[in-house]
Amino acid sequence: MNPEQIHPGAWVAEGARLGEDIHIGPGAVIGPQVVLADGVRIGPHAVLEGDTRVGANTRIAAHATLGTAPQDLDYGGEDTALVIGADNDIREYVNLSRGTVKGGGRTVLGDGNLLMAYSHVGHDARLGDGCVITNGAQIAGHAEIGDHVVFGGLSGIHQYARVGSLAMVAAGAMVTQDVPPFCMVQGDRAGPVGVNVTGLRRHGGYDPGRVRQLYRLLYRAGLGLEEALARMMVAVSDGPERRLFMDFLRVSRRGICR
């Protein structure tokens, strides 16, 4: 690695493992357990500490804090990790916490996510690929987020709650129960307002008509959850939409947003 790519005002601890073509800006702090894959870009005054692993070509902007100790009163300094995939864009003042032993020990981000300024991902949370976490959105510990989910500005999700793939959480929404795939929710407490047709069109690969059928049976037919699941098996033809939607509903622990 070309040493000129590390600003002389940065502090890189002995033991940190750096790939090729790394750029580290002035005032940045890289702890001794940090692992950076090839092509990572780190802005001024960003702080990476603890067991933090960053995938290739991820960009980390100024003043982001990654791998900080979990904000959990039971945390006692155990060796836990933050694992970040490739091609993520992590903007100014974003905070990502390490995991806790009781939560499995790892906070995980997939690939290709955009985390806008001042957003937060708590300990032991798991994000899929291609998510957009808008400015000031807050994801609590142990939350599970699918692929291509959008969180609007200043929205929040309760710990242990889940959001299915291609769902959209509106700005300012407070999510306390699970959001099924493909659905849009808004409000405090967040409730369903329709199908994320725009997300379906942008992503491709799913039939919006079949998704609308599933949505109507869950939210517009006056059925309980078990009744709705039974009707889906009969009334909706098999396909990836039905499988993803029904699998998500069957394992809900906090209940579904209503």
Residue 170: both structure tokens together: 């509106």
Contact indicator for 140, 115 with CB cutoff of 8 Å: no
Do the beta carbons of residue 256 and residue 181 sit within 8 Å?
no
Does residue 178 have an active-site annotation?
Answer: no
Of residues 123, 142, 148, 158, which has the active-site annotation?
Answer: 123
CB 214 within 8 A of CB 207: no
Q: Residue 138 corresponds to which tokens in the numbers above?
A: 């807050």
Structure tokens at 61: 């902007």
The catalytically annotated residue of 124, 129, 147, 178 is 124
CA–CA distance, 38 with 56 (Å, rounded to integer): 5
Question: Does 89 qualify as catalytic in the annotation?
Answer: no
Q: Is 123 a catalytic residue?
A: yes
Q: Which amino acid is at 198?
A: T
Active-site residue (options: 141, 152, 164, 199): 141
Residue 175's beta-bridge partner residues? 157
Strands (E), 56-175: 59-60, 65-68, 81-84, 89-90, 95-97, 106-109, 114-115, 120-121, 126-127, 132-133, 138-139, 144-145, 150-151, 156-157, 162-163, 168-169, 174-175
Distance, in Å, from the CA atom of 137 to the CA atom of 43, rounded to the nearest integer, reads 21
Three-state DSSP state, 103: helix
Distance CA(137)–CA(157), nearest Å, equals: 9
Which residues does the annotation mark as catalytic? 123-124, 141
